Amino acid sequence: MRLLHTMLRVGDLERSLKFYCDVLGMKLFRKKDYPGGEFTLAFVGYGDEADHTVLELTYNWGVDSYDLGSAYGHIALGVDDIYQTCKQIQAMGGEVVREPGPMKHGSTVIAFVQDPDGYKVELIQLGTSAGTAKAS
């Protein structure tokens, strides 16, 4: 078995694609409308779906916002230079909601950005003590 994708419901697919592709540097692999169900799926990520986990963005036609709830946490991305990455995200209009620095009660360097729908994306500095582990 392997993890294939994580799905997020988005209120404006083009706005979300701009964030994930232009700001975070993912590629759009495929996008398809489902008129019978009145939704569109777009799959984005950093590597081909054949051997990488991707993100499924689901746009339900006519729905422009969602209650995020209290159970959802975040998506995590490993980065080589967290400080430069945050500067680039801000320069492209992205919102850094937690500046880079060591995580509470640990030494892993993390930051958080927020996508247009309010979902959190954790950035983890690769090479810090637990840089490939979940840090929150």
Q: What is the C-alpha separation between 49 and 72, in angstroms, rounded?
A: 24
Query: Does residue 38 have an active-site annotation?
Result: no
Q: Which residue has tokens 């540097």?
A: 25
Nearest in space to 88 (alpha carbons), one of 80, 107, 130: 80
Q: Out of 49, 56, 99, 122, pick the active-site residue.
A: 122
Kindly list the distances between the CA atom of residue 128 and the CA atoms of 25, 27, 74, 90, in Å, as whole numbers in the listed order.
22, 27, 20, 23
Q: Which residues are catalytic?
A: 122
